[in-house]
Chain A
Amino acid sequence: MEWINTPESSNIAGFGYNESIRILTVEFKNGGRYEYFDVSMDVFNAMKAASSKGQFLAQSIKGQFRYARV
């Protein structure tokens, strides 16, 4: 799994993507770790490119994909 730490974000500690099972994993700074399901590689790439990961998560992923706490 490709994992990216985001120390610059105020809410997100890091995120990663597993292409074979299409799961995006996001770890929040408060310690919670969540999996977003059926996420395409494009979305992950867009998140990598986004200037604010937290904003991208709230605007483009929240409400679009099912998630579950790990």
Chain B
Amino acid sequence: MAAGDPTLIGTVQDVNGATVRVEMTGETVTSLSFVNGEAYRVGQIGSFVRIPLGFVDLYGVVTQVGAGAAPERGEQELPYGNRWLQVQLVGEGTRGGRFERGVSQHPTIEDRVHIVTEKDLRAIYGPGEPNDFVAVGHLASAESIPSLVNINKLVTRHSAVVGTTGSGKSTTVAGLLTALSDPTRYPSSRVLVLDIHGEYATALKDRSTVFRVNPDATKQEQPLNIPFWALSFDEMLKVGLDGIDGQKASPIADIIVELKREALAKCPRDGVESENVTVDTPIPFSIHKLWFELHKKENSTVVPNPGGGAEEVEPAYVLDPATGNPVQVGDAMSVTPPRYRTVKTTGPAPERVNYGPNPLGIRQQVAGLASKLRDPRFGFLFRPGDWLPDIEGKTSKDLDLLLEGWIGGTSPITILDLSGVPSSVLNDLIGALLRVLYDALFWARKLPDGGRERPLLMVLEEAHAYLNKENSGTAARAVKRIAKEGRKYGVGMMVVSQRPSEIDSTILSQCGTIFAMRLTNDTDRGHVVSAASDNLKGLFEMLPVLRTGEAIIVGEAVSLPVRTLIEPPAKDRRPDSVDPKVAVRGNAQKDGFEGPGGWNQIRDKSDYTAVVRQWRKQNPKYEHKPQQAPNPAQN
């Protein structure tokens, strides 16, 4: 052994598959080694070692240190105790050349093991092709080396950002998005953020357009509309007429096709002919008319047509006794049902009232649809502004303007702020949204606007809220589809969650790259480890002790799993997810407090009418009603 080589740390004593056990030399007693004036700690979990084999260098990562890493047989006592390292081989590089994953040969007994110096690290982590990589921070072990991720792999092979609350997830995402939307490097980048808590609007304000269900006009927010007629039949059934099985669905599908054909005849649309219309074709039709027809089918009662044949009937409306006219014949657009007389099977034949012919037996679902059509919370779907079809199925705007707003705007990032959406409809809304976008990009795959030519990254914040294992809702189905097929068509997703164990494992395992922040919960950790497509699971043992803002990045976007200190964005570009402060810092007698609230400041005058007003408006944006009389000057 060449004494004096400061990079030497030990020799290979045991090789088992990709696992190598290394006995450290007696010389590195201090576990601190100096190479070219830089200090390196020997035997840190997660650090790298180099094993030169002729013309190639094998690289491995240290996963275990000490007695447990020793081979399982009686060992004689060594002067310095159990100085063993367990190393997982990860790749190889030619001398001074490129690093590649995978090894072509294995080390053997007594091969020497060296520290990986900064120079070696640069070769490993350095960019192959500068355009492909963005820096997200720097290596936790070497501040001078940027940590680069390959955005080709990051975007299209999907990714996940997981970590406990407060581990720096949102900041990481904001940092990544800031890097990806850099106008000088990627002027055509395209990112869509599903922002459940409304955190990102401030962080990305100069690069994003914000859509909200209740838009705040003063902040240039756009209204978020998702026309129901852009959904597929199955999804629309799920949202509008929940609980209808296949047999009863087909007559409804027939009615919808008929309505779509009628609408198309009134207002022809490029790309679809009357005979090609299917129930899934995204052309407008009046769902109000559908409801009206179904309501009549289910609830109507009939009387024999006076003077007609025995088979002829007419609707048995409730009649106004004074005029003899129907009290209420109903109106589709205002969701007013017609009123029918109750069934009467006795008395003379002309007075008998019978049920209408051939009901489908879905009265309950039709009533449910009516209440959804009236519900303002579903307005984004069933009364989608300029995309609301009138009774003939005409709309003032078509889907192109909708898509252009979402993914074709001037800013690279679109934030769909879903913070105002009631949780009961969140799942359907997200499902509908993803599905509309994916379909559009899928079919436009040969166009410059499509996903292949201009890929789209979808960021799914708080994904556990709508991607539960138990949740087979529309959102989960849409996400699964993107997870499975998206990469071929340039639609990538980034799943962000603090509870990875609650996310369907088929979704998580499709994420090619995982940014694992601090994760303390055992179940969550297990879930992430099993989803990671890497053989370096030992690295995940570090998850509970990561610092805030530190992440282990594993998977396809990085050449090697890397422990990274994520570069936080500038202070005014951080997401608005800071926890409320119970006690604020500061002093009323000196320079005041860092914020206006907190338990350690005097109470404010309360006004719970304002509280209730916000609640009823279902909108956090407060509009103050000024007091009439000017307040006398305080103090």
A contact residues vs B (CB 8 Å cutoff): 9-12, 21-23, 26, 28-32, 34-35, 37-40, 42-43, 46, 52-69
Q: Which of B576, B603, B605, B633 has the most C-beta atoms of chain A within 10 angstroms of its own C-beta?
A: B633
Interface-facing stretch out of B12-20, B524-532, B585-593 = B585-593
B contact residues vs A (CB 8 Å cutoff): 202, 571-572, 574, 576, 578, 586, 588-596, 601-605, 607, 610, 622, 624, 626-627, 630-635
Question: Measured between alpha carbons, how far is A66 from B594 in the docked complex, in Å?
Answer: 18
Interchain residue pairs A-B with the least CB separation, the first 8:
A54-B592, A42-B633, A58-B592, A68-B622, A58-B588, A54-B591, A37-B624, A63-B602
Checking A23, A37, A52, A67 against B596 with a beta-carbon cut-off of 8 angstroms, the contacting residue is A67
Question: Measured between alpha carbons, how far is A37 from B602 in the docked complex, in Å?
Answer: 18
Residues of A within 8 A of B572 (CB): 31
Contact B586 A31 (CB under 8 A): no
For the A-B complex with A53-B592, A58-B593 known, give 8 more contacts whose Cβ atoms are closer than 8 Å.
Answer: A12-B592, A35-B624, A54-B593, A58-B601, A59-B635, A63-B601, A66-B610, A67-B604
Checking B574, B586, B596, B601 against A26 with a beta-carbon cut-off of 8 angstroms, the contacting residue is B596
A sample of 6 cross-chain residue pairs with beta-carbon separation below 8 angstroms, ordered by A number, consists of A9-B591, A11-B595, A26-B596, A31-B572, A54-B591, A66-B610
- Minimum C-beta distance from A23 to chain B (A): 7
Contact B604 A43 (CB under 8 A): no
Question: Measured between alpha carbons, how far is A53 from B590 in the docked complex, in Å?
Answer: 10
Contact A40 B593 (CB under 8 A): no
- Minimum C-beta distance from B219 to chain A (A): 9
A-B contacts at CB below 8 angstroms, number: 103
Residues of B within 8 A of A39 (CB): 631
- Minimum C-beta distance from B342 to chain A (A): 53
Residues of A within 8 A of B574 (CB): 31
Given known contacts A29-B594, A35-B624, A46 and B605 CB-to-CB distance under 8 angstroms: no
Residues of B within 8 A of A63 (CB): 601-605
Residues of A within 8 A of B622 (CB): 68-69
Residues of B within 8 A of A38 (CB): 624, 626-627, 631
Identify the closest chain A residue to B572 (Cβ). Answer: A31
Contact B626 A21 (CB under 8 A): yes
Question: Measured between alpha carbons, how far is A29 from B289 in the docked complex, in Å?
Answer: 55
Checking A32, A58, A64, A69 against B634 with a beta-carbon cut-off of 8 angstroms, the contacting residue is A64
Residues of B within 8 A of A52 (CB): 590-592
Question: Measured between alpha carbons, how far is A52 from B596 in the docked complex, in Å?
Answer: 15
Residues of B within 8 A of A62 (CB): 588, 593, 596, 601-602, 604
Identify the closest chain B residue to A31 (Cβ). Answer: B572
Checking B576, B592, B601, B610 against A56 with a beta-carbon cut-off of 8 angstroms, the contacting residue is B592
Contact A66 B596 (CB under 8 A): no
Q: Which of A38, A58, A65 has the most C-beta atoms of chain B within 10 angstroms of its own C-beta?
A: A58
Question: Measured between alpha carbons, how far is A44 from B626 in the docked complex, in Å?
Answer: 17
Q: Which of B591, B594, B607 has the most C-beta atoms of chain A within 10 angstroms of its own C-beta?
A: B591
- Minimum C-beta distance from A21 to chain B (A): 7
Residues of B within 8 A of A55 (CB): 588-592
Contact A60 B634 (CB under 8 A): yes
Question: Measured between alpha carbons, how far is A69 from B216 in the docked complex, in Å?
Answer: 14
Residues of B within 8 A of A46 (CB): 633, 635
Residues of B within 8 A of A30 (CB): 578, 594-595
Question: Measured between alpha carbons, how far is A22 from B627 in the docked complex, in Å?
Answer: 10
Residues of B within 8 A of A40 (CB): 630-634
Checking B593, B605, B607 against A11 with a beta-carbon cut-off of 8 angstroms, the contacting residue is B593
Identify the closest chain A residue to B571 (Cβ). Answer: A31
